[in-house]
């Protein structure tokens, strides 16, 4: 790890000021096109409680740009592989959800996606994420050796199965966007 001079061990963690909290809330609210009250109102609280993607929303207060030309895939056919399965869905259901999500991206972008048993371009792995209050369901790395990481202990759902769970198809749709170099889509 490269030491960050702004986060040295000698620098004490400081509580944010009320103004910093308000500014952060306004940024959060405006990102989701909510009324920017700067206070934790009911819709803001509900949005904060949603399970979500761990990729950064912003970089130093600025929206994250799409991946640069240097970073994006130069090939148009990408391989993918499901590494393991979570507790709530069968392997067949996961593969089905993944095929459906990749097919959607083929329609939108022209990329071809092929399931592979070899070392793939994109891995989809369910990790045993320790319990945290961050409410993170998944994340994905940028193009080239992309890893989509999903919380193994989530109540993953696909189609009619577990209707109260989190939709694996929609989560994969979102995370594949990151793999293709896109920042978050805030509006689902």
Q: Which residues bind Zn ion (CB under 5 A)?
A: 53, 55, 184
Burial class (CB in 10 A: 0-12, 13-18, 19+), 128: exposed
Reduced to 3 states (helix: H, G, I; strand: E, B; else coil), residue 79 is strand
Is the Cβ of residue 17 or residue 49 nearer to Zn ion in the bound state? 49
User: How near is the Cβ of 142 to Zn ion at its closest, in Å?
Assistant: 11
User: How near is the Cβ of 184 to Zn ion at its closest, in Å?
Assistant: 4
User: How near is the Cβ of 115 to Zn ion at its closest, in Å?
Assistant: 23
Q: Which of 159, 175, 178 is nearest to 167 (CA)?
A: 159
Is the Cβ of residue 38 or residue 179 nearer to Zn ion in the bound state? 179
In the complex, which residue's CB is closest to Zn ion?
53
Q: Round to whole Å and give the CA distance between 96 and 84.
A: 14
Is the Cβ of residue 38 or residue 180 nearer to Zn ion in the bound state? 180
Q: Round to whole Å and give the CA distance between 178 and 156.
A: 20
Instruction: Report the alpha-carbon angle 54-57-59, nearest 5.
Output: 120
Is the Cβ of residue 53 or residue 176 nearer to Zn ion in the bound state? 53
User: How near is the Cβ of 9 to Zn ion at its closest, in Å?
Assistant: 31
């Amino acid at each position: 790890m490269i030491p960050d001079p702004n986060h040295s061990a000698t620098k004490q963690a400081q509580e944010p000021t009320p103004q910093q909290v308000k500014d952060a809330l306004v940024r959060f609210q405006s990102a989701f096109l909510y009324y920017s009250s700067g206070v934790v109102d009911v819709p803001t609280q509900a949005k904060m409680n949603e399970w979500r993607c761990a990729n950064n929303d912003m970089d130093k207060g600025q929206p994250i740009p799409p991946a640069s030309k240097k970073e994006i895939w130069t090939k148009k056919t990408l391989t993918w592989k499901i590494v393991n399965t979570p507790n709530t869905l069968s392997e067949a259901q996961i593969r089905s959800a993944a095929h459906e999500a990749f097919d959607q991206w083929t329609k939108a972008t022209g990329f071809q996606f092929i399931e592979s048993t070899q070392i793939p371009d994109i891995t989809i792995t369910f990790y045993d994420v320790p319990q945290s209050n961050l409410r993170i369901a998944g994340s994905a790395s940028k193009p080239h050796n992309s890893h989509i990481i999903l919380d193994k202990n989530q109540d993953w759902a696909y189609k009619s199965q577990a209707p109260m769970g989190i939709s694996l198809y929609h989560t994969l749709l979102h995370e594949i966007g990151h793999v293709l170099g896109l920042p978050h889509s805030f509006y689902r």
